Amino acid sequence: MSILVTGAGGQVGRELTARAGGRKLIGLDRAALDITDEAAILGAIEANAARVLINAAAYTAVDKAESDQASAFAVNRDGSAALARACAQAGIPLLHLSTDYVFDGSAPAPYPESAAAAPLGVYGLSKWEGEVAIRKALPQHLIIRVAWVFGEFGANFVRTMLRVGRERPQLRVVADQRGAPTHAGAIAETLLGLADRILAGESLHWGTYHYTGAPVTTWHGFAEAIFDEALALGLIEKKPQVTAITTADYPTPARRPANSALDMTQAGLQLQLRAASWRDGLRETLRAWKSAS
């Protein structure tokens, strides 16, 4: 029995393969498998005797999606639909990652899974329509919404902050968007744990759940923490001055939710999931980069 991972070249996908341990896990990146090709997906499931599929593939270029809608919907909506149909035909469950961007961020409190979707842009809408397609095609699914993902691999906020922090003595970072940074390694461990339970024959409560780090902060607060930890580890010589600004001060092609906090109550009750400290994940990421330098 094996675990098949699509999107194995991305942030979470690389963490999944790195943390596989003794599991029989097959990771396929974009070059190895086109997730919009249902026949190819089914062939990969059958060839690898997969008993569960974890989809870590996504079009995540939030701003670029506004001008490249076709690509965003092809991957996030059509690819999700093809994966769900192939899993249904093969009789295996799908674990799929979604996003806080399905909400508009106007609520004052963390969003429960039952909150109405109201995406602000193409990326969020394409991910929401992918969720809808999965629910329609495959009852045996776990859709896990995550937010503010960072980690050792790929491009992310932590890597960007370190780069610009070394280049500039002063930075301006948005302070009126709230959310919980989520370590890609913690997401991978959570997905692998769920896959293990499925393979062991446990009957899970299928559906949509939230999984994020803790506690809630702002991009400005996250940046301050990044520089504090990086300075302590000797990754930067001096901490830059980080000035708090508003979203209006930093316009982008795509609108961002002001509130990206996700309520994990149901994930705790139904799946026994608990939020991991993003500071622990941040230290793990920075230590990995220090060791590699």
| pLDDT by residue, tens only, the chain of 293 residues | 799 999 999 999 999 999 999 999 999 999 999 999 999 999 999 999 999 999 999 999 999 999 999 999 999 999 999 999 999 999 999 999 999 999 999 999 999 999 999 999 999 999 999 999 999 999 999 999 999 999 999 999 999 999 999 999 999 999 999 999 999 999 999 999 999 999 999 999 999 999 999 999 999 999 999 999 999 999 999 999 999 999 999 999 999 999 999 999 999 999 999 999 999 999 999 999 999 87
pTM of the model: 0.96
For 64, the domain range is 2-292
Q: Look at the alpha carbons of 96, 78, 48, 138 in this order and tell me if their dihedral is positive or negative.
A: positive
Structure tokens at 131: 């969720």
The reply to whether omega before 112 is within 30° of 0 (cis) is no
Report d(CA 5, CA 56) in Å as an integer. Answer: 7
Report d(CA 51, CA 35) in Å as an integer. Answer: 17
What's the CATH number where 65 sits?
Answer: 3.40.50.720
State the total domains in the chain: 1
Kindly give the pairing relationship between strand 217-218 and strand 178-179: antiparallel
**Residues designated catalytic:** 123
Q: What is the DSSP letter of 188?
A: H
